[in-house]
A and B are shown apart, each in its own frame.
Chain A
Amino acid sequence: GEDVEQSLFLSVREGDSSVINCTYTDSSSTYLYWYKQEPGAGLQLLTYIFSNMDMKQDQRLTVLLNKKDKHLSLRIADTQTGDSAIYFCAERVDYKLSFGAGTTVTVRA
């Protein structure tokens, strides 16, 4: 909720890169996550990063973490129509997850 903030909407052209940004407040976060939710479905774990890492790359996904600024981003390379969904970032503190409000990504042809 209020401890994790994301922009609400992102529109991107097919084939371009998408960058979704997230800020969090709790400096004791151990892990930070990105989840994807398609309409009417649950959350799919996309990737996560340990708090002592700066970057993690997994195929088309790149996660950047700036711990000093408490800023997390997810870059999706070569965005496809199947990437249209809501993306949630979440911070983990003491095994509890706090979620942002989600960024709705719309991919246009």
Chain B
Amino acid sequence: GAVVSQHPSRVICKSGTSVKIECRSLDFQATTMFWYRQFPKKSLMLMATSNEGSKATYEQGVEKDKFLINHASLTLSTLTVTSAHPEDSSFYICSARGGQGADTQYFGPGTRLTVL
């Protein structure tokens, strides 16, 4: 139980285009989903917290117009990187809170974004 999927696992796009990443909780309902960014050999940086049906809460320094988050249902949240630039290249990981045990966050497998 408590499986979280992300799609796509890997995406390459041209500078200036927008990219949408999906995060799904497959076998449980997630009231809250989190989006993280991980730089090479670095820790995870929380970007935003999203609750189903309401606006996402962004961490300080994260541009909400750049990283659009939609949490349309209890099993799906999307992150759209708008007008992507090479510096947006990173590993994006989502997590979902719910399932059994301790309100634990269960993580997706991540999406590797490369912007050319």
Contact = CB atoms under 8 A, between A and B. Distances in A.
Interface in A28-70: 31, 33, 35, 40-45, 48, 50
Q: Which 6 A-B pairs have the closest CB atoms?
A: A43-B107, A42-B109, A42-B110, A42-B107, A99-B43, A101-B43
Nearest to A50: B102
Interface of A is mostly: strand
Interface string B69-105: 0000000000000000000000001010100011111
- The main secondary structure of chain B at its interface with chain A is strand
Interface string B5-32: 0100000000000000000000000001
Place the interface of chain B in its size category.
20 to 34
Contacts of B97: 95
B93 A43 contact: yes
Nearest to B49: A96
A102 B32 CA distance: 24
B46 A96 contact: yes
A96 B47 CA distance: 11
A96 B98 CA distance: 13
Contacts of A24: none
Interface in B19-72: 32, 34, 41-46, 49
